[in-house]
Chains A and B, each alone.
Chain A
Amino acid sequence: MSKIGVFICHCGENISATVDVERVAREIGGMEGVAHAIDYKYMCSDPGQTFIKEAVKKYDLDGVVVGACSPRMHEPTFRRACAEAGLNPYLCEMANLREHCSWVHEKGEETTEKAIDLVKMLVEKVKKNNPLESIKVPVTKRALVIGGGIAGIQASLDIANTGHKVILIERDPSIGGHMSQLSETFPTLDCSQCILTPRMVEVAQHPNIKLYTYAELESLEGFIGNFTAKIRLKAKSVNYSTCTGCGACIQKCPVKKIPSEFNAGLGTRTAIYVPFPQAVPNKPVIDRVNCNYYKRGACKICEKTCQVGSIEWDKEDEIISEEVGAVVLATGFDVKGTDFFPEYGYGKYKDVLTGLQFERLASASGPTFGEIRRPSDGAIPKKIVFIACAGSRDPAKGIPYCSKICCMYTAKHAMLYQHKVHDGESTVFYMDIRAGGKNYEEFVRRAIEEDTVNYVRGRVARVYEKNGKLIVKGVDTLLGGEQVEIEADMVVLATAGVANCGSEQLAQKLHVSYDPYHFFAEAHPKLKPVETNTAGIFLAGACQAPKDIPETVGMASGAAVKVAALFSNNELVREPIIAVVNRLAPPLYSTCVGCFMCETACPYNAIEHEEIKARDGSLIRTIARVNSGLCQGCGTCVAFCRSKSIDIQGYTNEQVYAEVMSLLND
């Protein structure tokens, strides 16, 4: 016979105003197996908890039910109290009399009856509860950071500075990401490279960071604290241990007309190349798609030029394996091109640029050394038009969301243009100015008031070329819809920021969720912004949604702290609410028949094959086993199991059945 203690909370008046709590305690007290039932004004308070602790000892309780608020709120509180009194915490359950009852119903007989039912269900359940032990898993104190932009750089440095090892992998030949492409940054106009490149060097020199550039994640297996990452080191065709980075090979390479990714297509590079002069590492790779030798089997000029014999023609991609305890995703974003806009010329006008291309023009390290010049003829544009929301907030052709950074960088572009071309005229077509941020609004006002940027509220219907000019047909909606036509020399489209290419595949490799736009999904939009819903995998920067540099850096540091907190433990303690496959005495061993439907159903790859062997080592049967580190307790396998061999601990079929039957038996 069970000895259950029941404790009904008034929650001030939150529950007692609509539920007759005394009656609940009285009626439950009469239930079979209930040894003690009381009500109290604040059960969560210190005196309230003391009631529970004392009752556990006095009545030698083997189960506790607290009828109070949501378990989300106070389950840990009451379970801790039980544990302190010597009762296994998993023998304590909560009936939610507040959110599920008093808050949503009128005062009355029926409300009290519902409260009684809710408690009764939990009493029946707790009779079937088993003591459970929390799960402990070891932690590999080494982090994997994917993506070497400012988010990945910041996260890596922060983790490394807590004394833990970091493996940073970057898809491109150099770290730096989009930030290395930017000219000056809003709202302070400090040079992007000047603040970024010291960090890049720090990453390369940090004793706790192992950097793999030109590398991509091949696969990730395991679970929080215990991941195995397979990393593909793409063949660079250059031996970095001997290469001195002298650059002679680059100068001699005959393939010179490849559009430079770093310059967003506005400049060119060679087939053996370093993306930009400040690259880290500052050593070249050979782009095999464009190299004459790989294309036609002849050339090898770089090999002849190289004094130290570093060219490795036959080098192949290499797959390495690394054990890590946590992963930070920092893969950034991509910028839509100008080509998807029919009305802005399908990308056919050379002087219609993306914002990123304008950054390269304005950058001292860019193809024009910081002079604003037209790609078509090299002339300095005297009239320039910036079009905001080019693709953003455009469900028809682009994306419905706001890309967030464009208002600010467009103001910055117009400002930089005015600073560089004193007699120039700049116009910004905008819909709304979204300048929420420290000193952001002031920055935009400065562009308008001091730098005489002409802001026109309205969108542009079309852009076409005539006599070397770009005719921009816009509108001023603040003048009641007056059409505005500008003969511009250059047009800059604030094209949308979108998820990076390949993010969907990467998310699938890592088993993290992504949103409809293929940005990685955070675990909670407010309270868990850097966590994913896969334990041990964290997010930093624009791979989660478009964001600016300060926000990205903040998020990266946040992710780093989460990793450091994880690494502060030698072992991880997890709730034991996971699936288990039953085990029985021989000769049955288990009711599991080894069909492995559960394996196909499990979204977390938590089902393993367990071989049951006889003493002589011969195989008797293969049954399913749940990896307690990977299992998230979702219960999908339970629904799939045809022989009813899997149960979720704490929510077994038997427990849930008992709850339901308590209602039906009335």
Chain B
Amino acid sequence: MKIGFYPGCSLTGSSREYNESVVAIAKVLDIELTEINDWNCCGATAAHSMNEELSMSLPARIMAMAEKQGLTEVVVPCAACYNRLKVTQHDLKDETKRKRVSEILQLPYDGSIEIINVLQMLEKYGAENIKAKVTQPFAHKVACYYGCLLVRPHSILQFDRVEDPQSMDELIKVVGGTTIDWAFKTECCGGGFSVSRTDLVAKLSGNILEDAADRGAEALIVACPMCQSNLDMRRGAINKVIERPSDIPVIYITQAIGLALGIDAKELGLKRHFVTVEL
């Protein structure tokens, strides 16, 4: 399997373990990732909060670069980037907007690239094929946390169910784990307020963590660097506001699968978390 790859800024910095685990499992699963040349930041929440044209132009350049490179399908592990790229692609179906953005970019853009998230890539790869390569079943009871950006807006992303999504749960079951039925799968963790309003992030992430812990989850499984860093790096702030401080780890779906495929914890970046991972 060959596929284009857009890591995004987080995966080269504060969430490099996500990158490491994506690359590690791709290697074991024989998935060839081709990084987009000279990619730029998608603009994240900052761009669309401040200026609509900027918020479309930044992702459009990324996709234009991918098109130039001849890629037809690109996996975007970061949920925030995935969302921005998909929404931009949708918005640029509008003729006037596309014209304006082409003017700004001075690059051809035709919007033909298939943007998928990491769960879709693994689904495409095939549950049976993954199962065949499992060497150490991931025998843990976990809570799959999807957050906002993977599933909403449903009308544009058309991915999984809008409430109580199942795709990540299915993957965990494929590699030998069990998942809990819980209430905060798609509630917001506080997203981009990590630095500016840490107090609100602590409150929202706290609700999520408490529900998962109450229902006996050994770990939270995520597919978004923002969710991961809020729930992991902000644990100190979270534990100050919730009734029962918690030390359950928050790992990426790719790390969980990596463990099941027998990849070394260090190679998967599991040592980089703030909350110690002992799975």
User: Which chain A residues have a beta carbon within 8 Å of chain B's beta carbons?
Assistant: 342-343, 345-346, 348, 462, 464-467, 471
Complex contact A462–B163 (CB within 8 A): yes
CA distance A370 to B214 in the complex (A): 36
Interface string of B13-46 (1 = CB under 8 A from A): 0000000000000000000000000000000000
Other A-B contacts than A342-B163, A346-B164, A466-B215, 5 sampled, CB-CB below 8 A, are A342-B161, A342-B162, A342-B164, A348-B164, A471-B183
Residues of A within 8 A of B162 (CB): 342
Complex CA distance for A467 and B183, rounded to whole angstroms: 11
Nearest CB to that of A463 among chain B residues?
Answer: B183
Cα distance, A465 to B163, chains bound together (Å): 14
Chain A residues whose C-beta falls within 8 Å of the C-beta of B211 in the assembled complex:
466
Can you list 12 pairs linking A and B with CB atoms under 8 Å apart? A342-B162, A342-B163, A342-B164, A343-B163, A346-B161, A346-B164, A348-B164, A462-B163, A464-B183, A465-B183, A466-B215, A471-B183
Smallest CB gap from B163: residue in A: A342
For B214, give its contact among A346, A348, A466 (CB under 8 Å).
Answer: A466
Considering only CB atoms, which chain B residue lies closest to A464 in the complex?
B183
Summarize B's interface: helix, strand, loop or mixed: loop
What are the residues of chain A within 8 A of B183 when measuring CB–CB? 464-466, 471
A-contacting residues, B149-192, CB 8 Å: 161-164, 183
Q: Which residues of B contact A348 (CB under 8 A)?
A: 164
CA distance A348 to B161 in the complex (A): 14
**Minimum CB distance partner of B184 in chain A:** A464
Q: Would you call B164 and A345 a contact (CB within 8 A)?
A: yes
CA gap between A464 and B215 in the complex, in Å: 13
Within 8 A of A (CB), among B84-133: none
Bound state CA distance, A572 and B117, in angstroms?
70
Report the minimum CB–CB distance from A340 to chain B (whole Å): 12
Cβ of A351 to closest chain B Cβ, rounded Å: 15
- Residue count of chain B within 8 Å CB distance of chain A: 8
Give the residues in chain A near B161, CB-CB below 8 Å.
Answer: 342, 346
Residues of B within 8 Å of A462, CB to CB, are: 163
Give CA–CA (A346, B211) in the complex, Å. 20
Alpha-carbon separation in the docked complex, A345 to B183 (Å): 10
Q: Which residues of A contact B164 (CB under 8 A)?
A: 342, 345-346, 348
A464 CB contacts on chain B under 8 angstroms: 183
Q: Whose C-beta in chain A lies nearest to the C-beta of B154?
A: A342
Q: How far is the CB of B154 from chain A (nearest CB, A)?
A: 9
Most B CB contacts (10 A, CB to CB) among A348, A462, A464, A471 go to A464
Please name the residue on chain A nearest to B183 by beta carbon. Answer: A464
- Residue in chain B with minimal CB distance to A471: B183
Digit string of B201-221 for contact with A (CB within 8 Å is 1, else 0)? 000000000010011000000
Expressed in whole angstroms, the Cα–Cα distance for A467 and B161 within the complex equals 24
Contacts of B163 in A (CB 8 A): 342-343, 346, 462
Alpha-carbon distance between A466 and B180 when the two chains are bound, in angstroms? 12
Residues on B with beta carbons closer than 8 Å to the beta carbon of A466 = 183, 211, 214-215
A471 / chain B contacts, CB cutoff of 8 Å: 183
A346-B214 Cα distance, complex, nearest whole Å: 23
> Quick one: CB contact mask for B60-76 with A, threshold 8 Å, 1 for yes?
00000000000000000
Contacts of B214 in A (CB 8 A): 466-467
Interface string of B238-256 (1 = CB under 8 A from A): 0000000000000000000
> B113 → chain A, closest Cβ, in Å?
29
In the complex the two chains form, what is the Cα distance from A462 to B161 in whole Å? Answer: 15
Give CA–CA (A465, B183) in the complex, Å.
Answer: 7
Q: For residue A462, which residue of chain B has the nearest CB?
A: B163
Find the B residue at minimum CB distance from A467: B214
**Inter-chain contacts of A346 with B (CB < 8 A):** 161, 163-164
Question: Within the assembled complex, what's the spacing in Å between the Cα atoms of A467 and B215?
Answer: 9
Cα(A345)–Cα(B215), bound, Å: 17
Residue of A nearest to B155 (CB): A396
Give chain B residues whose Cβ lies under 8 Å from the Cβ of A343. Answer: 163
Q: Which residue of B lies closest to A345 (CB)?
A: B164
Q: How many angstroms between the C-alpha atoms of A343 and B162 in the bound complex?
A: 9
Cα–Cα, bound, A456→B211 (Å): 27
Cβ of A467 to closest chain B Cβ, rounded Å: 8
With A and B bound together, what is the CA distance between A67 and B56 in angstroms? 66
A156 to B214, CA, bound (A): 59
Q: Write out the residue numbers on chain A whose beta carbons fall within 8 Å of the beta carbon of B215.
A: 466
Kindly state the separation between the CA atoms of A464 and B187 in the bound complex, as whole angstroms: 12
CA distance A194 to B162 in the complex (A): 45
- Closest CB of chain A to B45's CB: distance in Å? 23
Q: How far is the CB of A352 from chain B (nearest CB, A)?
A: 13
Q: How far is the CA of A462 from the CA of B184 in the complex (A)?
A: 11
Task: Give Cα A348 to B163, complex, Å.
Answer: 12
Most buried by A among B162, B183, B211, B215: B183
User: How many whole Å from B220's CB to the nearest CB in chain A?
Assistant: 17
How far is the CB of B210 from the nearest CB of chain A, in Å?
A: 10
How many whole Å from B120's CB to the nearest CB in chain A? Answer: 20
Please measure, in the bound complex, the distance between the C-alpha atom of A345 and the C-alpha atom of B163, giving whole angstroms.
8
Nearest Cβ on chain B to A398's Cβ, whole angstroms: 15
Residue of A nearest to B185 (CB): A464
Residues of B within 8 A of A465 (CB): 183
Complex CA gap A462/B162 in Å reads 12
Complex Cα–Cα for A342 and B211 (A): 19
- The answer for the CA separation of A56 and B30 in the assembled complex, in Å, is 99
- Complex alpha-carbon distance, A585 and B183, angstroms: 83
A485 to B163, CA, bound (A): 19
Query: Distance (Å) between the CB of B257 and the closest chain A CB?
Result: 26
Can you list the 6 inter-chain pairs with the closest CB atoms, starting with the nearest?
A342-B163, A464-B183, A343-B163, A342-B162, A466-B183, A342-B161
Closest beta carbon of chain B to A488's beta carbon, Å:
14
Kindly state the separation between the CA atoms of A466 and B214 in the bound complex, as whole angstroms.
9
Chain B residue nearest to A341 in the complex (CB): B163
CA distance A605 to B182 in the complex (A): 58
CB distance from B254 to the nearest CB of A (A): 27
User: Considering the chains assembled together, what is the distance between the CA atoms of A345 and B164 in angstroms?
Assistant: 8
Could you tell me the distance between the alpha carbons of A346 and B165 in the complex, rounded to whole angstroms? 11
CB B169 to nearest CB in A, in angstroms, measures 13
Rounded to whole Å, the gap between the CB of A390 and the closest CB of chain B is 15
Task: Indicate the member of A342, A343, A345, A346 with the most B CB atoms within 10 Å.
Answer: A342
Measured in the bound complex, the distance between the Cα atoms of B183 and A348 in whole Å is 13
In the assembly, what is the distance between CA of A248 and CA of B183, in Å?
48
Measured between alpha carbons, how far is A465 from B161 in the docked complex, in Å? 18
CB distance from B216 to the nearest CB of A (A): 12
A521 CA / B161 CA spacing, docked (Å):
35
Kindly state the separation between the CA atoms of A345 and B182 in the bound complex, as whole angstroms: 11
- B69 CB to nearest A CB, Å: 38
Q: With A and B bound together, what is the CA distance between A348 and B166 in angstroms?
A: 14
CB proximity of B256 to chain A, nearest CB, Å: 24
A366 to chain B, nearest CB (A): 29
A574 to B161 alpha-carbon distance, docked (Å): 57
CA distance A553 to B42 in the complex (A): 63
